[in-house]
Amino acid sequence: MIPNGAEVFKLSRLSIAWLSIIFGIVWAVCWSIGVGLPMLLEGQFGERVTLINEILKAVTPIVAILVFIPINAMFMVLIERRALAIFTVRKGPNRVGPDGNLQTMADAVKLLLKEDITPTGADAFMFTLAPILFFAPSIFGSLPLLAAVTNNHDLFKILNLPTGIFYILASASLPVVALVMAGWSSNNKYSLVGGLRSAAQAISYEIPLVFSLITVCLMAGTLDVVKIAQQQAGGILNWNILGGGALAGLNQFFAAIISGQGADKALAAFYPYGGLSYVAALVLVPCVFMSFCLYLTSACAEINRIPFDLPEAESELVSGYNTEYSGIKFAIFFLAEFTNLFVVASITTVMFLGGGDNPIPPYLLDKFTPFPQMIAALRETPLVKDLHLINPETLFATFWVIAKVYSLVFFAILIRGTLPRFRIDQLMNFGWKRLIPLSLIIFVLVVFARGFVISHG
């Protein structure tokens, strides 16, 4: 197929505009609550309002997420529909608002105004609780990520848990309970089958998912997502996707060559066992890359995206667990699904793709580009010094995080536009007979190979 160049250009322009608006709004809210208002209060009342200021700062991340999730989901639905329209030679939404940009807003309003139906014979309490329980983990479960993706910004430091990834995984396994509840309480056989399917699927695919992340934690030597993100700083060779620090020595080697210092020492420091170390590094690189692929695959299954969207398989189960839902409850399910996609992409970014790290190593940037001077100049402006409106580290980290996360989201959309759906028994076979043994093998290989290389941990 020849891609429609004009449409693709329009899509990217639109994404950039939307993303600037979204993150502009979110940062404006964060700043006014966490920085602006405390500064104002302190100027007026002095020391007396310290407690209030602390509370305001603590509330900021939660407000940020609550502002971010709905508008982000709106944007993601729109971009998904537009991208799928390009893949499938259609026009996509183009009626509501300029170029169809308000389509998802109109959809949201429609869903909120629709009658909220509880079917006859349904367990009303569980029926109402299910969407809430489905949505809540995607809010509080993603909080530690916020510290990681903003490079541990002052406002989000409070979220920095020492057991970050453990907490994230624990809360990510909660929604499956909600799906079973939704399926059971709807008093609909399609919903019941959908709910049971989602339970079976989530339980089987959580194992390779956790194992692939544990592999990374093993390389990093910590469960703290902020530390994992910071360890990977220093260019693409340091990222976990390329061996989790196995190539860090190579990175140092290049840095030493460029700066003209003793290059041999750098290699020797990172690969202490000579040839054995190099073999270990060669094993680690494909292993960690495989666990990256494993993570993407099982995350796709975890959040019920095509080709693993069996719990809501339209052609078989009408709409699966959410068949009976309408109005705002359905809207919450819908919102949570897209938020989960975003959360999964963020986890991948932090754990494998270096978080907010620039892919170009700093020794190249320092030498050949004017960026370092620009950052230094930016630091001296009153915007940064007095108002704390922009924090240069966070700004660039956020830029790279956004670029990486939305590339992954776009990749998920591309997969959705291409593949058919698995059958439930094939899905189970694939999970238990392929992914789980593979993830175990990778784990064992990494355990042994890691001893011969000085990796991040």
Partner 1 sequence: MATEFQDRVDLKTDEMIINMGPQHPATHGVLRLLLNLDGETVKHVEPVLGHLHRAQEWQGQNRTWFQYQALIDRVDYLSGMFTSWAMARACESIDGMVVPPRAEYLRVIVGEMNRITSHLLWLGTYLIDLGAMFGFPFYPFREREKLFDLFEEIAGQRMMYNYIRIGGVLRDPKPQWFDKLSKFLDEFPDRIDEYEAIVTENPIFLNRTKGIGILKQSVAKDYAVTGPCARCSGIPIDLRKDKPYSIYPEIEFESIGYNKDGDTWDRYMARILEMRESIKIIRQCLAKIPEGDIIAKKQAAGMRVKAGEGFAAVESPRGILGCYVISTGTDKPYRFRWRNPSFCNLSVLPELLVGAPIADIMAIFGSIDVILPDVDR
Q: Footprint of partner 1 on residues 414-433 (CB under 8 A)?
A: 416-426
Quick one: angle between helices 436-450 and 275-302, nearest 10? 150
Q: What is the DSSP letter of 97?
A: S
* Least distance CB 77 / partner 1 (angstroms): 12
Nearer to partner 1, 386 or 425 (CB): 425
Minimal distance in Å, beta carbon 320 to partner 1? 11
- What track of x and - describes contact with partner 1 for positions 297 through 326 (by CB under 8 A)? ---------xx-xx--xxxxxx--------
State the nearest-atom distance from the C-beta of 417 to partner 1, in Å.
4
Rounded to whole angstroms, the Cα distance separating 332 from 339 reads: 10
Q: Residue 434 belongs to what H/E stretch?
A: none
Q: Report, in Å, the least distance between residue 89 CB and partner 1.
A: 5
Decide: is 193 part of the binding site for partner 1 (CB under 8 A). yes
Tokens describing residue 234: 């220093």
The token pair that represents 247 in the structure block: 């190539």
Can you say whether the dihedral through the CA atoms of 126, 128, 134, 138 is positive or negative? negative
**Residue in 68, 135, 166, 190 binding partner 1, rule: CB under 8 A:** 190
Residue showing tokens 């996509």: 92
Q: Which is nearer to partner 1, 116 or 314 (CB)?
A: 314
189 binds partner 1 (CB under 8 A): yes
439 close to 207: Cβ distance less than 8 angstroms: yes
Q: Which is nearer to partner 1, 312 or 357 (CB)?
A: 312
- Whether 111 and 70 have beta carbons less than 8 Å apart is answered as no
Smallest gap from Cβ 141 to partner 1, in A, equals: 28
Q: How many CB atoms lie within 10 A of CB 243?
A: 29
User: Rounded CA gap, 166 and 182, in Å?
Assistant: 26
The nearer residue to partner 1, 4 or 32, going by C-beta atoms, is 4
Is the Cβ of residue 84 or residue 403 nearer to partner 1 in the bound state? 84
Phi, psi of 385 (to 5 degrees): -70, -45
267 close to 246: Cβ distance less than 8 angstroms: no
The answer to whether the beta carbons of residues 158 and 58 sit under 8 Å apart is: yes
Name the one range near partner 1 by CB under 8 A: 97-105, 150-158, 187-195, 206-214.
187-195
Q: Give the position of tokens 């990494």.
A: 446
Cis peptide leading into residue 382 (ω within 30°):
no
Determine if 3 is a binding residue for partner 1 (CB under 8 A).
no
Q: Write the interaction track for partner 1 spanning residues 54-93; mark x where CB under 8 A is met and - where it is not.
A: ------------------------------x--xxxx---
- Contact between 134 and partner 1 per CB under 8 A: no
User: Counting contacts by CB under 8 A, is residue 385 touching partner 1?
Assistant: no
Q: What b-and-e string marks burial along 328-348, b requiring 16 or more CB atoms within 10 Å of the CB?
A: bbbbbbbbbbbbbbbbbbbbb
Q: How far is the CB of 310 from partner 1 (least distance, A)?
A: 8
User: If binding is defined by CB under 8 A, does position 2 make contact with partner 1?
Assistant: no
Binding footprint of partner 1 on the chain (CB under 8 A): 1, 84, 87-90, 189-190, 193, 306-307, 309-310, 313-318, 416-426
